[in-house]
Structure 1
Amino acid sequence: MTTAVVICPGRGTYTKAELGYLARHHGEKAALFERFDARRRALGQETLAALDGAASYSVARHTRGDNASALIYACSLADFQDISGLDIVAVTGNSMGWYSALACSGALSADAGFEVVNTMGTLMQQHLIGGQTLYPFTDENWRPIAGRKAELLALAETTAARPGHDLALSIDLGGMLVLAGNEAGLAAFEAAIPPAQGRFPMRLANHAAFHTALQAPVAAAGRAALPEALFRQPTLPLIDGRGAIWWPGATEPAALRLYTLGHQVVAPYDFTRAITTAAREFAPDLFIITGPGTTLGGAVAQSLILADWAGIDTKSAFQARQSASPIIASMGLADQRSLVTQREK
């Protein structure tokens, strides 16, 4: 049987093109989404049904932390439930996708996962501390530019040393770095680097300074709100943002909660290492990226290039391999979705 690692996406993946994703792909899961919406109504929040069924997409509305996190979690979990005919050997995620991965792995029930993601997304929105910017250290063929990553990290460090400037690595994302900090730190960094590839540096809308020490108040509030009883043993191996593996039968739920509501919130998230661990420890035939969105495929491919996986060393080499025998299936793309669901949607 084909083996697969499942990867759950993070914030910023439910975009204009994804409007209606839940209704389009998962109409039969109305009972699941209604449970989520009952919780949101009790909190005075807009329902997923209203957000997903909106007449038009709104950046201000759909990218808010309290809305985007819940939408993305619902899409990811529902997509995971549709995967069939494959041997899933491990689960991981990018940033907020860690919460989705917890539920997909069985370490949280579907409803406990929603409680975690909705609580953390709401806390992020309420505090809205800092922001994020994205910048590549590879060329347009996804080859690392010699010394560029070290230069960018050194620049972030010297920027953060200036009075009133907060800046730190947030996510190591394949061939890109996500830097996070306060406005002074972000603006100084963006002013000091040359424009790249026609779109970088890219400030990420409605994103806070995730995975940095600035989020300590959010982490503390999350620990106060989310009890250990929500967490349990995973039923699938779970790869975290350090590249560490949480094994079924060998995981302490208290430690998993502490990581999730501690280190994972306030320290850098190494997505590249998570994918490297997935490739080298589990050697899957396929990497499946749940929806929503299609943007994480590039970061997965870049991470595999950096890991020297299967002799793939450039974007063009990856594209050739992907065309001949797909190694990534993004469920946000209809043709790739059909590879892993065995049924029309």
Structure 2
Amino acid sequence: MSVRKTALVVAPGRGTYGKGELGSIARLHGARFADLIANFDAQRTERGQPTVTELDGADRFSVATHMRGDVAAPLIYAATALDYLSIDREKYDVVAALGNSMGWYSALALGGAVSVEDGFRISNAMGLNSQTHGPGGQILLQVVDEDWRPVAGLRERLFDLVADIGTRHGHALALSIDLAGMLVFAGNEEGLAALLAEAPPTPGRDPLRLAGHGPFHTPLMFGSSDKAKAELPHALFHRPALPLVDGRGHIWRRHASDPAAVRDYTFGYQILAPYDFALSVQVAVREYAPDVLILPGPGDTLGGAIAQSLIGINWQGIGSKADFMARQAADPILLSMGRAEQRALVTG
């Protein structure tokens, strides 16, 4: 009798359903989860929106369409939730769930704090609500070298600069998401322009303005928060069946966490304050010591941030990109379902 491995599941956020993922929902899940996909489609039809099936089945990927919040969010949620339901539970015992940014809405469903159908309802609504904000967006900056080790002093210099810009008249700028090896800052146009003009040299890539993204996880998202609280009722939320680790590194204990408090966090702090993804990974592995981390699709772009989060605490002796790659080759600790060979290990 084989012994199941313990697994931590990490739900991806925006930017993960791209050209390479077009058609993947139908291809990977159309036969097995037809009824659930039909439910997602019906929810979209009820709101006068193109269905998941139509969007996933488009002839070509359109940045203007597929990257828009009201399209990207339901596609990402559907791919993540269906991948999660495809995990071979004879091989893996899922001990906790977490997510990155909008991946928190997916994590709520993976952990049973909401149903899978209501998780889609929330993600779909928040895809629309995420477009309700003040003017602005997000900029991504890398803070590690080619071996994924922190560049001395760079993180501190960026935080000092961002704090300074944020005090200037007419400028809004703050940390949005901490991805370990990368930082996402968000603000209004004046704040973003100042950051692009004054940021110190960064390794690997130039600062990148994220297309189609608003000033997520800042007070500029107050409109999104207000709409969510008005539209999405308390009745959607339940006590989670799995522990959930949120964007503060806080653990919502299974069967014990107050559903109203989970909702308040989800539509309040989670929208308006920074999301520390790196900390959430680090708290989760320290608390639950999983044998593996499973990254559902779509895509696998979050894998680097997960690895860099582990490197940040030297998890199981993984202190660099070289260490991580050696571990992956010998005994994979991160299983990305967006990669065919690793997906086969997860789904059987």
Same fold (TM over 0.5): yes
SS of match in other structure, 2:58: coil
| Partner Cα separation in structure 2 for residue 190 and residue 294 of structure 1 | 27
Q: Does the 8 Å contact 1:7/1:289 carry over to 2?
A: yes
Q: Does the 8 Å contact 1:106/1:233 carry over to 2?
A: yes
Q: Is the alpha carbon distance of 1:60 and 1:128 closer, same or farther for their aligned partners in structure 2, counting shifts above 3 Å?
A: farther
| Partner Cα separation in structure 1 for residue 342 and residue 115 of structure 2 | 27
Deviation at residue 126 of structure 1 after TM alignment: 4.4
1:255 to 252, 261, 271: 261
Q: Deviations over 1:255-304 (max 9, x none)?
A: 00000000000000000110001110000010000100110000000000
| Partner Cα separation in structure 1 for residue 204 and residue 303 of structure 2 | 20
| Partner Cα separation in structure 2 for residue 194 and residue 149 of structure 1 | 10
Unaligned runs of 5+ in 2: none
1:151 to 147, 154, 157: 157
1:33 to 26, 37, 43: 37
Unaligned runs of 5+ in 1: none
1:207 to 175, 200, 213: 213
Q: Does the 8 Å contact 1:306/1:313 carry over to 2?
A: yes
Is the aligned partner of 1:61 residue 2:60? no
Could you tell me which residue of structure 1 aligns to residue 298 of structure 2? 292
SS of match in other structure, 1:125: coil
Q: Deviations over 1:141-162 (max 9, x none)?
A: 1101111111111111111111
Aligned residues: 342
Deviation at residue 179 of structure 1 after TM alignment: 0.4
Deviation at residue 195 of structure 1 after TM alignment: 5.0
Q: Does the 8 Å contact 2:145/2:204 carry over to 1?
A: no
Q: Does the 8 Å contact 2:173/2:192 carry over to 1?
A: yes
Could you tell me which residue of structure 2 aligns to residue 21 of structure 1? 24
Is the aligned partner of 1:340 residue 2:339? no
Could you tell me which residue of structure 1 aligns to residue 84 of structure 2? 80
Q: Does the 8 Å contact 1:129/1:215 carry over to 2?
A: no
| Partner Cα separation in structure 1 for residue 271 and residue 132 of structure 2 | 15
| Partner Cα separation in structure 1 for residue 236 and residue 134 of structure 2 | 25
| Partner Cα separation in structure 1 for residue 61 and residue 182 of structure 2 | 27
| Partner Cα separation in structure 2 for residue 197 and residue 249 of structure 1 | 44
Deviation at residue 246 of structure 1 after TM alignment: 0.7
| Partner Cα separation in structure 2 for residue 277 and residue 334 of structure 1 | 29
RMSD, matched Cα: 1.1
Please give the residue correspondences for 1:23-172 in structure 2 after superposition, counting only pairs within 5 Å.
23-28=26-31, 29-84=33-88, 85-127=91-133, 129-172=135-178
Deviation at residue 194 of structure 1 after TM alignment: 4.4
Q: Deviations over 1:43-84 (max 9, x none)?
A: 111111111000100111001100000000000000000001
Q: Does the 8 Å contact 2:107/2:244 carry over to 1?
A: yes
| Partner Cα separation in structure 2 for residue 250 and residue 308 of structure 1 | 31
TM-score by length of 2: 0.96
| Partner Cα separation in structure 2 for residue 129 and residue 8 of structure 1 | 27
Q: What code does the residue aligned with 1:21 have?
A: S
Q: What code does the residue aligned with 2:14 have?
A: R
2:325 to 302, 319, 323: 319
| Partner Cα separation in structure 2 for residue 174 and residue 34 of structure 1 | 37
